[in-house]
Each structure stands twice: as C-alpha cells, then as structure tokens.
Structure 1
Amino acid sequence: MAVRDVAEAYRTVPLHPSQWPAAVVRVSDDLFVVDTCAAFGAAPSGGVFGSVADAGCDIFRAEGMGPLSKWVDDHVFFRVLRSELDSANTTRQGWHNHIREKGVHHHGSRRWFGGHVLLDNEPFDMFEDCSFSLQDLSHSSPRSPEDSRYCYNMDDINRVSTTLGIPWQSSKDIQFSSSAPYFGFIWDLSDCTVALSPEKASKYKEAIETWESRRRHTLLEIQQLYGKLLHASLVIPSGRSRLVGLELAIALAHSRPFASRFPPRSVAGELVWWHQRLSQPRISRSIRIPSSVIDIQAYSDASTGFGIGICVGERWRAWHLLPKWRTRDGAKDIGWAEAVGFYLLVSHVSSCLPPATHFRVFCDNEGVVGGWRNGRSRNTATNTVFRLTLDLLENRGFDGCAHCSYVPTARNPADGPSRGVYPASSLILPPIPIPDCLQAFIAD
C-alpha cells in the first residue's frame, strides 16, 4: 500500500465566475480581492472537492490501478502481485456481479456498495463497484525488480495524475510497503493488523490528563476529548462502552454550550480505563475477516417474572432473579436481564472453544443484539454488563470473536428455562461462574 496527499487540495478547484461575488475578501480599507478557488473551511467545499476526487479515483481505476480509495485529500493505493492478478480479477468480478444485483446504497451523505451480511454480521461494504479490472502495467516504464513483481508503481500513478493536474504533496508520500500510516492508524498488511501509533496514543493520553486538571468543561472541550477517544475506539473496540459518560455530557451541555459544567460522575472512571489502555506499549487489533463462525446453537433469554435461561444444543441452565433486582444498586429492566443472560451464555461458550475462535450466539432482545453490534448500550445497567462481557472475552483471547444474532422468541429454546419450564435435569449444563458484581441479583 502507498499513501499520497493532494497538495492544497481545495485550491485545485476553481470557482465558476458566477460564484465570485460571494468570495470577495477585504484586505485593507480600499482593497478587495476575489478568492477564485474553493475555500478551505467553507461548508460546500468538501462536497465540491469530493466530487472531483471521486472522479479522479475512477479514472485511476479505469487505467487498471487499484484497489484505491481516499478520505478527503488523502489517497491510499493498494497493488496486487502480478502472479495473483487473475485470481484478484476473478474475485472482483464476483463482487461486481453481487453489487450490480444489490445496487448502490446511501446512508446520510455516504454512498457505498454491497448488500449482504458477512459471517460476522457486518455488512458487505465496499467503496467501489469493482467495474474496472486490474491491469498489469509493469511494462509501461523501467522499474526496480521489487516493483516489477507488482502490477503498477508510483510512476504509473504519476503518469495519470500529471495528465489530470493532480498535484501531490511529495514530502508526504508514503512509498509502497506492507505497512503504512493512514487515517491516523498504522496498517500492517503482512500481519493483518491496524494499530494506533505511539504518537497518537501519547497525544490522547495528554488530552485526558489536561481534562483531569480541570473540574468543569465546555461543550467544545467535551467534544474534543470524545472525538479523540472515539477515533481510538476503532482500534480498541471495548472502549466504545467506555464513552457513554462523555456522550451524556455532550447531550447535557448542548443547551448552554459555552458554560463550564461538571461532567457525569461516570466519566472519571471511564477516563481512568482509557488512560490505562493508551499506556500499553502496542495498541492494535486484527483486521482479518473471519473465514468461519462456529454455530453451536447457543441461545439466551430472560423473563422479568422468573429469571434467565440459556440453551446450548439440547443442554440448558437457568438462574432465578433475586428480589429487588430491579432497584438494588440502580434501576434495571428486562434489557439488563437479557444482557446478563447473554454474558452467561458467552462465558460458557468461550470456555468450550479454542481462543480466537469466532462463534455465534442468539438472543431475542433487539436491544442486546443491536447494542452488542454497536459496542455499547445507552442503558447504564446494560452497558455495565457489556463491559463485563468485553473484558471476559479479552482476557480469554476472544476479543471481537462473539457475534450475536436475533432470533424470534417463538424459536428461542431458552425461553422455557427463563420462565421456569425446564428440560430434563440430565441435560443441565455444568455450573457457570457468576461474577461478584452479579451475585446480589441472580441465583443458580
């Protein structure tokens, strides 16, 4: 992969003369100048440059280069070994056929291609429709033995960009390599990992320390810290559940954005966790798409009037909800009970499989299914159980390996045990450890 940055990107887009009256700048008492290019910071400029950059990417693809993408003016180019070209094009043709069948998707201002759901419940989401085949351009100009192994090189990119008038900021070029920084992360294609750079981790730790030096904060200060940690959570998925305090702080501060406010009490504990995670010597995660997800028919369910049940195949186990579970140590609802059932099920399944095995479990509560997919719940009690589950999986070597799917209650075999309707006692599962923090609420 290689990374290139367009020099003064917005300045490459001239304004139509009809737009000049809105771009007059007064520089002295009697001197006015016209800014004839798209202005950095102007609301329409991002979309204007985006249209130009999207067209540029398509022209590169039509010339046989790629895969490639861009984020504003930062372009990332991937290249394929010549020996793998036929295989890559066969794969791309299959993707193109699928995309052509499913069409283009829009989510807000974002356009993407895909349609079906992958094994890990994530959407098949692509930034191009794969309509252009990759080509072997290795004979188009002299090149090094290493470059000759691949379908194209920087000279091929320059040949097209020079014709189009795209000026690269050469000092920021990242030459083709198996590892490169992009979007604030270090991408390693040989190890299939993405990492937060030490510089970013240090910067985010300093932001936490600056926050902790003051007791009150404005909306802008909350948003700035939240944005940094949200970015880091792309590499530290378990951190998503440790941002709900800042999200609440943002909601509370919107009515008076310039007033300094005390943040919710939960923020302090969340930031202690974040500071510890950002202090680790290496912060990374796998970007491999699982080739298989084990389905051992594992289900969980909860009933407010009785308790929690799980089923794995024909086997089962159940727990009573203890009196006052709804009100002890904070308000709780059925979503919390369903999340506890999910935790107990994940605890059992992960104890039966080798570490790093991707597995699927089923639940009939959409709040739990959707919340787990998002990495957090807005419900404080449910979110606490999600944190417990995330920590359990990480400690056992299953980080990112538990995938939750929805099942209707009528098809959920755990519905009976959750209501006290038990299968044969000979099929009961072995005891599952109940964490100390849950022992006041459920009993085996």
Structure 2
Amino acid sequence: MSNPQSIDKCDTPVSEHGGSDPISLVEDVIPPSLVPSIEGNSQIWPSAVKCEMDIPAWHLALDKAGLLPEFDDVITGFRNGFPQGIPPHSLGETLPYFTPPNHASAWEAKDKIEEKLQKEILAGRMFGPFTHDQVQEKFSFFRSNPLGAVINGDGSLRPTNNLSFPHGNPQIPSVNSFVDPNDFPTTWDDFNVVSSFIRNIPHPVSFAIFDWEKAYRQIPTAMDQWPFLFIKTFDDKLLLDTRITFGGVAGCGSFGRPADAWKQIMLHEFDLITIFRWVDDNLFVKNIDSQTRMEDIVARSNELGVKTNDEKFSPFATKQKYIGFIWNGIDKTVRLPNNKLIDRINQLKAFASKANFSYNDVEIMTGRLNHVSYMLPQLRCYLCSFYRWMKSWVVKTALRELPDDVRSDLERWMHTLLTFKPTRLMPNPAPTEIGWVGDASTGFGIGILIGHQWAQFQLAEEWLQRRRHAGGIAWLETVAIRLGLLMLESLGIKQGKTFIVWTDNTTTENAIRKRKSKDHAVNEEWKIIQDLLVKLQADLEPRRVNSEGNVADGLSRGERDGHDARHIVPVVMPLDLENLLFQVLF
C-alpha cells in the first residue's frame, strides 16, 4: 500500500477519471472521485486522506495560543489520518479475510443504520460498496467488524462497530485486542465533575451548548489502518471506512485529542470560565456579565472546520440542558427535564407490569435508571440487583421472569421518583469530614457525636421488655445513622454534601455502603434512612474506627463525662421510635 498522501482543506481529491466538478447534496459535497461509486459504476478507491478541517488555520490558532508543540500530533493527524494502534497482521495463508456477519442488534436497527451508511458514502467518509474480490485486489488481508447497536445512558440506540469481536478466540484475535487504551488518553467531564465545579463557583454563571456535528466522523484514520476497518453491509458487500468509529479502543482518544485542542483554543480566544466535554457535547461556562457570544464561538469554529449540530446548539443562558439534565447557573441546582421524569415513571410502571423480560429490556431500563442516579446517588444501591440479573443471563435471547430482589428495588425507585423534590442542589460527591461518629449498646442505647455537638438516646422500657427485638444491635446501629441525620437537619445541613460517618461495627460499615442487609429490620430502617437522605439531599460515606478510638462509645453506655451539656442537639423523635428510645437531655 502506498504511503499516505497529505492534503489540506484547500486540496480537493479528484477522480481517477479526471472529474473535478463537485455535486451539491443535502448533507455535504461529494468529492468527484466518489460519483462513480454512488452511481454503481466502477469502484473508485480514495487516493489520499480527506479531512474537512482548515489545517493552516488550526496550526496558526494553536501556535498563537502557545499550544505547540503539545498538539503537533493533531495537525499530523488531520494531514495523514490518526493511527488507531492496529498493527499489520493476518490470520494465516488460508484466511485472506475475516468478515463475520453483523450482530442481531444491528438487524433490529437495520433501516437506521443503512440510512447512516448512505450519508457517510455520500459525504465521502466511506467508500463502496465493494465485493470481496475487489477488496482482495487491494489488500492481501482485510477484515470487517460486526455492526451492532448499543444502549446509551438515556436509553436510545447508537449504531456501533464491534472491534472487540470475536471474544476469547486465540485463533482470531479481535482488532481491539491489538490496541493499548493507554496510548489513547483523553479528558472526560462527567456529571460529578460538572456538578462539583459549578457548585463551588461563588457567583452566578451562564451556560451554552456546542455539539460537534458528526463528531468522530470528522476525524480521519491513517491509511495503513483501513484494511482492518471495513464494514459489512446487510447484503454482504463491503464499505471502506476512513473515519474513526464508535467501538474502537482508540476512538475516544483519536477524537479527544483534536477536541481537547479545540477546547484550549476556545478558552484562549474567548472570555470563558471553562468548557466541559462529554464526547461531542460541550458545555461552555462564563460569568453572567461576560460579553462572549456563542454565535462568535460558532463562527470561529466554522473557520477551523469544526461544525456544530444546529439542533443541539444553544446560546448562553442561566439554564441549560447538558448530558440529560437541566443545570441552573444562578441557584446552582440540577434536575431532570419535566418530560423525562414523567417518561421514567411511566417506563417503570410499564416495566414492572411485564410478565417476561428480554436481556435488552433490562439493559435499557438499567441504563435509564443509572442516568437518574447521578442526580440521586442515594438510589445507586437499588441498581445492584439489575446488574446481578444481567450478569446471570447466560442465553441473551431467552426471556426471564422478574426476580424478587429486582421487584423490591423497582418499588424503591418508583416510590422515590413519585415523592422526591425534583430540583436538587448540585451534589458534591467528595466526602466531607464533620467528625460524625456513632455507637450503640443494648445495655443503654445510642451515642452520637458530630464535631463537639452530641446527643444521647436511652432504650425505653418497651424495647428492654423485647430484648430480642428484631435486628438487635444491628438495628440499633442503623437507627444511630438515622438519628445522626436528624441531628444534622437540626444543625442546618448543607445540602448536596456527602458526609463521612465513622463506625466501629463492620456490619454497619457494609450496610452504609450497600444500603441493604440480610436482616429484615435493618432493611426496613434503611428504607427510612434513604427517604431521609433524598429529602435532605445528602449522602453517606462510611469510615472504620476501632472500638478503642470510638469517642461515642461512652455515650452509648450512658456516660456523659467530658461532654458539655450546652452542645446537646435536641432531636424530635420519629413516631416509630418514640416508644423504643428517648433522648437524654439532662
């Protein structure tokens, strides 16, 4: 195969037949070299890497921003294509190619995938279709990777190219098995990164959205990678894909490098606080009085060749939808869009009413609930049963009934989504140390310290008469968590925080992590605690302290020495506890 020929934006590839007049289409402009392929005549192979970026403009912008030589590889990638880490290889003389069938999930999304493939051909990012014999004339060995469709976090389908197929076959290693992901690093800004950063800005901000049009499809791959990146059509033809694809180990890094470079250029040229990036979605953040306009950012990006998705582009505003949530830059709150919350509730109802479930049904619902759990981290424990269920699914095509533990967790999800306050203060997942430690004893009761504030609770006669109260010490230790939260509420809890709780009880430590126990009474108590955590917009992180170092130990045994009565925190006892415990105030 010949060495890659570099071309800048101004160099238009021409047909081997000398054609030079581009044909305007709805999506893009077709390179003349592609016209015979579309019309079904003799197949034309690309003779060079094609890239829509204005490479000289990129080089100048990076240079002015002081980003060279840091991003030299981006300029090289635009010119010669980005390497995907795939070495030259074959599968032996008896196997000149490997073109497995597409996955069943691809056939379910056949119309959508074929529509996308046609657009890629018309835009000059894919070439073909070719027969196997035609491809063999070009490459001594080549392979395609099965098309499929995966579930996004919001439950939607995304066509993919499975470069990890086949799995566990030493005779036929997958394309991805050759690639080291550490060679393709990039930056990601998930919900927790965005939430923590914005929450800590002391003044109002406004947001704007920039979505890279076609994202991965704007980034070319190196020509020596092409033999290993073919796509098999639904009629057993082959398409030569010249752009990075979803499904490749190197894809995130290959797109991420130019995306990171573009982000740094924008931060250098415009008055911005920061830019958050999640694949092709970008959240611009600026001070509310900044004069920066998104229209200027779009115009500048267009000069570089970076296009935005008009349907997802949004100008600066104090409220903005990003990664499926509505962010408020004044109140520093986050919520699900109203229609999305209603959708999730209705989807839960429909899901719970089904008699049998496919693996795909469960995967979609798990993805949807996982997305919600970013805003409601207290509910993550109610996803574990879903993941256990999917992990136990041996035959993915088989239908299965709803397990009891999943049904129970569905009820918790439904209960919370119907009752919680939908607008939440942006959570800070970083654990906060407040000196919270608790202890319990069946001989006296419960002691809790939060810094120098404290409370002591004595077991009532009714509990003493039922010394074998369901749950025993495990239940008491769990009640201590609830009473500690009520102390925080009385002290004026700061919402959105994750608080560290110290305990000397291994069972309690594990229960705080899992929010579940094999003990029925403890489980029932945790349901109450979870509701309280959602109400207070708080979360917990357990830490272990040895018994000798537990400063609440004396309080739990009835001792009060060394504790100033002025620092007692009065707690209104919940109705379900008032006959079992009472607070010692004097």
TM exceeds 0.5? Answer: yes
Deviation of residue 150 (structure 1)? 1.3
Aligned equivalent of 1:414, options 542, 552, 564 = 552
Q: Report the counterpart of residue 261 of structure 2 in structure 1.
A: 55
Identical columns (%): 24
CA distance in 1, matches of 2:236, 2:552: 79
**Alignment check: 8 A CA contact 1:194 1:235 kept:** yes
**Alignment check: 8 A CA contact 1:363 1:406 kept:** yes
Deviation of residue 412 (structure 1)? 2.0
Aligned equivalent of 1:302, options 434, 440, 446 = 440
1:287 aligned onto 2:494: no
Aligned equivalent of 2:227, options 10, 18, 21 = 21
CA distance in 2, matches of 1:257, 1:28: 22
Q: Report the counterpart of residue 140 of structure 2 in structure 1.
A: none
Q: How has the CA–CA distance of structure 1 residues 371 and 52 changed in structure 2, closer, same or farther, with 3 Å as cutoff?
A: farther
The one-character-per-residue Cα deviations of 1:367-390 (angstroms, maximum 9, x if unpaired) are 756865x6x535354554333123
The 3-state SS of whatever aligns with 1:231 is helix
Shifted more, 159-168 versus 175-184: the winner is: 159-168
Q: Report the counterpart of residue 275 of structure 2 in structure 1.
A: 68
CA distance in 2, matches of 1:272, 1:39: 39
**Alignment check: 8 A CA contact 1:344 1:432 kept:** no
**Alignment check: 8 A CA contact 1:6 1:168 kept:** yes
CA distance in 2, matches of 1:213, 1:257: 21
**Alignment check: 8 A CA contact 1:248 1:264 kept:** no
**Alignment check: 8 A CA contact 2:219 2:243 kept:** yes
TM-score scaled by structure 1?
0.67
Shifted more, 361-370 versus 70-79: the winner is: 361-370
Q: Report the counterpart of residue 109 of structure 1 in structure 2.
A: none
**Alignment check: 8 A CA contact 1:299 1:311 kept:** yes
Deviation of residue 50 (structure 1)? 2.5
1:338 aligned onto 2:544: no
Q: Report the counterpart of residue 178 of structure 1 in structure 2.
A: 318
When the two chains are superposed, the root-mean-square deviation of aligned CA atoms in Å is 4.0
CA distance in 2, matches of 1:409, 1:11: 59
Aligned pairs (5 A) from 1:387-398: 387-392=527-532, 398=536
The 3-state SS of whatever aligns with 1:37 is coil
Aligned equivalent of 1:364, options 496, 500, 503 = 503
Matched residue type, 2:356: R
Q: How has the CA–CA distance of structure 1 residues 368 and 153 changed in structure 2, closer, same or farther, with 3 Å as cutoff?
A: farther
The 3-state SS of whatever aligns with 1:243 is helix
**Alignment check: 8 A CA contact 1:218 1:257 kept:** yes
Q: Report the counterpart of residue 433 of structure 1 in structure 2.
A: 573
CA distance in 1, matches of 2:234, 2:368: 39
Q: How has the CA–CA distance of structure 1 residues 271 and 27 changed in structure 2, closer, same or farther, with 3 Å as cutoff?
A: closer
Deviation of residue 3 (structure 1)? 0.6
**Alignment check: 8 A CA contact 2:420 2:534 kept:** no
CA distance in 2, matches of 1:431, 1:192: 30
The 3-state SS of whatever aligns with 1:78 is strand
Q: How has the CA–CA distance of structure 1 residues 19 and 337 changed in structure 2, closer, same or farther, with 3 Å as cutoff?
A: farther
Deviation of residue 410 (structure 1)? 2.8
Deviation of residue 175 (structure 1)? 0.9
Q: Report the counterpart of residue 261 of structure 1 in structure 2.
A: 400
CA distance in 2, matches of 1:248, 1:435: 36
Matched residue type, 1:345: G
CA distance in 2, matches of 1:202, 1:282: 14
CA distance in 2, matches of 1:190, 1:219: 42
The one-character-per-residue Cα deviations of 1:156-176 (angstroms, maximum 9, x if unpaired) are 423542343211112321111
Deviation of residue 230 (structure 1)? 2.0
The 3-state SS of whatever aligns with 2:402 is coil
The 3-state SS of whatever aligns with 2:287 is coil
**Alignment check: 8 A CA contact 1:195 1:282 kept:** no
CA distance in 2, matches of 1:40, 1:429: 55
Aligned pairs (5 A) from 1:84-99: none
Q: Report the counterpart of residue 331 of structure 2 in structure 1.
A: 191
Deviation of residue 199 (structure 1)? 2.2
**Alignment check: 8 A CA contact 2:439 2:447 kept:** yes
Larger Rg: 2
**Alignment check: 8 A CA contact 1:60 1:66 kept:** no
Extract unaligned runs of 5+ from structure 2: 1-206
Extract unaligned runs of 5+ from structure 1: 82-148
Q: Report the counterpart of residue 144 of structure 1 in structure 2.
A: none
CA distance in 1, matches of 2:368, 2:293: 34
**Alignment check: 8 A CA contact 2:219 2:244 kept:** yes
CA distance in 1, matches of 2:218, 2:564: 74
The 3-state SS of whatever aligns with 1:70 is strand
CA distance in 1, matches of 2:256, 2:472: 46
**Alignment check: 8 A CA contact 1:6 1:73 kept:** yes
Size of the alignment, in residue pairs? 359
Deviation of residue 210 (structure 1)? 2.5
Q: Report the counterpart of residue 39 of structure 1 in structure 2.
A: 245
The 3-state SS of whatever aligns with 2:311 is helix
**Alignment check: 8 A CA contact 1:9 1:49 kept:** yes
Q: Report the counterpart of residue 367 of structure 2 in structure 1.
A: 227
Q: How has the CA–CA distance of structure 1 residues 279 and 21 changed in structure 2, closer, same or farther, with 3 Å as cutoff?
A: same
Q: Report the counterpart of residue 204 of structure 1 in structure 2.
A: 344
The one-character-per-residue Cα deviations of 1:395-440 (angstroms, maximum 9, x if unpaired) are 5xx332878765553332222344x46346997987863664897x
1:249 aligned onto 2:455: no
Deviation of residue 309 (structure 1)? 2.2
Q: How has the CA–CA distance of structure 1 residues 59 and 380 changed in structure 2, closer, same or farther, with 3 Å as cutoff?
A: farther
TM-score scaled by structure 2?
0.52
CA distance in 2, matches of 1:33, 1:394: 51
The 3-state SS of whatever aligns with 2:286 is coil
The 3-state SS of whatever aligns with 2:483 is helix
Aligned pairs (5 A) from 1:56-205: 56-64=262-270, 65-81=272-288, 149-205=289-345
Q: How has the CA–CA distance of structure 1 residues 393 and 26 changed in structure 2, closer, same or farther, with 3 Å as cutoff?
A: closer
